[in-house]
């Protein structure tokens, strides 16, 4: 063996040894005593941990997240008001399982029914509100499935509003995390209901079954679920130091276990990841040339805050870059017109996240002479390259 061969062998050996002994950027997530679980960054929707997250399982009362979400959307659209009185049907009153304890023929405000659903996990309240909104629970389930489709919940089908066991009623940890994110992002006005620790109705004080609300001040939602088939489930969200995480855990063995296992997942996320804001909504990131317009250029940026949750140890190693779309931008340009994309790139050059680059302002079409002159310029530029 030559000296060169020896040197190459040493370099190879020490290179392999160095790679083998280098500490991982993020350790493996903790194993949980559950059937499936997902940890999601609420700001970006990025999935940080996924263990059987797409497995279709009975969601039990996690179903009520969609029931309350659909009701909140109806409130936003003005088709429902919190002060509206809902007549309690015999079907709702007779419903078994967890109850708000509304009475047949009572008239109950929508705002109270929402608390009965979210805090007390009332099956009776869920059916009453579903009937009021859609005329019947089956029609309301159709509304739930339409919303699930909009949110990309590919492994979900709702057959009822309360989570009552049904072979055609299923969801997944990943889908419930997506739903929780929609509740947090799209309806912050009602999200505060999910952290209420108790609600009194009909003289009965019932506590929220989410034990983490008492154990961790950073936890402010969302919902528990339990049936014999589903086990004990929990979708929880917490915010620390400006970073919000969503943990979705299906199929633990007890009420205590679902709180403990969910806390493990949240703790892992906050210990090893950090949220970093790279660009703000409507921040000018690029000035793009415009042809045949009243202005020569248009400001471009991102339509929503460009925020990423990254490993703490390497969060400073990431940078953004702008990639403009091919072709010329011809006026008129409306606000929101795609201009290209913004990429988040790691130290290894790999793209880990991207978002559309859009026009932040409108540019009207220019006058006759501007349009003619720019047409001539474009012609000759194309002719001579």
Joined together, the tokens standing for residue 47 give 């999935």
CA distances from 247 to 106, 126, 154 (A): 37, 24, 18
- CB of 251 closer than 8 Å to CB of 51: no
- Euclidean distance between CA atoms 208 and 199, whole angstroms: 8
Region of 340 on the Ramachandran plot (φ > 0 left; ψ -120 to 50 alpha; else beta): left
If pLDDT is split at 50, 70 and 90, which confidence band does 380 have?
Answer: confident
If pLDDT is split at 50, 70 and 90, which confidence band does 385 have?
Answer: low
pLDDT of residue 191: 96
Alpha carbon 82 to chain centroid distance? 25
Joined together, the tokens standing for residue 210 give 């989410």
- CB of 225 closer than 8 Å to CB of 62: yes
Beta strands in the chain (DSSP E): 36-41, 47-51, 85-87, 107-109, 198-201, 204-207, 219-227, 231-240, 243-252, 273-279, 286-289, 297-301, 306-311, 319-324, 338-345, 351-359
Say yes or no to pLDDT of 215 above 70.
Answer: yes
Q: What are phi and psi of 320, to 5 degrees?
A: -105, 155
| 8-state DSSP, 2 | -
pLDDT single digits (tens) 139-153? 999 999 999 999 999
Helix (H) or strand (E) holding 62: none
Say yes or no to pLDDT of 1 above 70.
Answer: no
Q: What are phi and psi of 379, to 5 degrees?
A: -60, -50
Share of the chain above pLDDT 90, in %: 82
pLDDT of residue 24: 56
- CB of 234 closer than 8 Å to CB of 259: yes
**What angle (nearest 5°) sits at the alpha carbon of residue 97, between those of residues 95 and 100?**
75
Strands ordered across the beta sheet of 231-240: 47-51, 36-41, 243-252, 231-240, 219-227
For the segment 308-318, the average pLDDT, to the nearest whole number, is 88
87-96, 305-314, 336-345: least confidently modelled range: 305-314
Helix (H, G, I), strand (E, B) or coil at 342: strand
Joined together, the tokens standing for residue 273 give 């990841």
What are the structural domains, with CATH classification, of the chain?
Answer: 36-274 (3.40.710.10), 280-384 (2.60.410.10)
pLDDT of residue 314: 85
pLDDT of residue 55: 98
More confidently predicted of 187 and 236: 236
Non-local (6+) Cβ contacts of 176 within 8 A are 38, 59, 62, 65, 235, 248, 250
pLDDT single digits (tens) 200-209? 999 999 999 9
If pLDDT is split at 50, 70 and 90, which confidence band does 315 have?
Answer: confident
Residues in the chain: 385
**What angle (nearest 5°) sits at the alpha carbon of residue 177, between those of residues 176 and 181?**
115
Joined together, the tokens standing for residue 101 give 């304890």
If pLDDT is split at 50, 70 and 90, which confidence band does 18 have?
Answer: very low
pLDDT of residue 14: 30
Non-local (6+) Cβ contacts of 28 within 8 A are none
pLDDT single digits (tens) 322-333? 999 999 999 999
pLDDT single digits (tens) 67-113? 999 999 999 999 999 999 999 999 999 999 999 999 999 999 999 99
pLDDT of residue 316: 86
pLDDT single digits (tens) 345-358? 988 889 988 999 99
- CB of 165 closer than 8 Å to CB of 227: yes
pLDDT of residue 376: 87
Pairing of strands 85-87, 231-240: unpaired
- Euclidean distance between CA atoms 178 and 47, whole angstroms: 10
Radius of gyration of the chain (CA): 27
Query: Which residues are catalytic, by number?
Result: 61, 64, 121
If pLDDT is split at 50, 70 and 90, which confidence band does 381 have?
Answer: confident
If pLDDT is split at 50, 70 and 90, which confidence band does 230 have?
Answer: very high
């Amino acid at each position: 063996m030559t000296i060169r061969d020896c040197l190459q062998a040493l370099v190879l050996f020490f290179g392999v040894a160095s790679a083998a002994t280098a500490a991982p950027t993020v350790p493996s997530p903790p194993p949980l005593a559950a059937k499936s679980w997902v940890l999601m960054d609420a700001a970006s929707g990025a999935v940080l941990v996924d263990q059987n997250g797409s497995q279709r399982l009975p969601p039990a009362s996690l179903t009520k997240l969609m029931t309350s979400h659909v009701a909140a959307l109806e409130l936003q659209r003005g088709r429902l008001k919190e002060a509206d009185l809902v007549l309690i049907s015999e079907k709702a009153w007779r419903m078994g399982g967890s109850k708000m304890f509304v009475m047949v023929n009572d008239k109950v405000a929508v705002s109270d029914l929402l608390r009965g659903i979210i805090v007390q996990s009332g099956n009776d309240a869920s059916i009453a509100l579903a009937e009021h909104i859609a005329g019947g629970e089956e029609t309301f389930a159709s509304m739930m499935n339409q919303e699930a489709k909009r949110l990309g919940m590919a492994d979900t089908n709702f057959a009822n509003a309360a989570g009552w066991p049904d072979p055609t009623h299923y969801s997944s940890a990943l889908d419930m995390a997506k739903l929780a994110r929609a509740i947090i992002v799209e309806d912050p006005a009602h999200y505060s209901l999910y952290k209420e620790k108790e609600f009194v109705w009909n003289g009965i004080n019932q506590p929220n079954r989410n034990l983490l609300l008492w154990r961790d001040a950073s936890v402010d939602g969302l919902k528990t679920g339990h049936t014999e088939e589903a086990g004990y489930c929990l979708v929880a969200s917490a915010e620390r130091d400006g970073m919000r995480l969503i943990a979705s855990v299906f199929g633990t063995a007890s009420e205590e276990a679902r709180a403990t296992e969910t806390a493990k997942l949240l703790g892992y996320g906050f210990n090893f990841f950090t949220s970093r804001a790279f660009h703000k909504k409507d921040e000018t990131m690029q000035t793009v040339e415009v042809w045949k317009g009243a202005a020569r250029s248009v400001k471009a940026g991102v339509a929503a805050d460009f925020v990423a949750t990254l490993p703490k140890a390497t969060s400073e190693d990431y940078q953004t870059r702008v990639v403009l779309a091919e072709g010329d931008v011809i006026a008129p340009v409306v606000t929101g017109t795609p201009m290209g994309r913004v990429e988040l790139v790691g130290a290894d050059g790999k793209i880990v996240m991207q978002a559309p680059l859009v026009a932040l302002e409108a540019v009207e079409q220019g006058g006759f002479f501007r349009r003619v002159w720019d047409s001539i310029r474009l012609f000759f530029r194309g002719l001579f390259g």
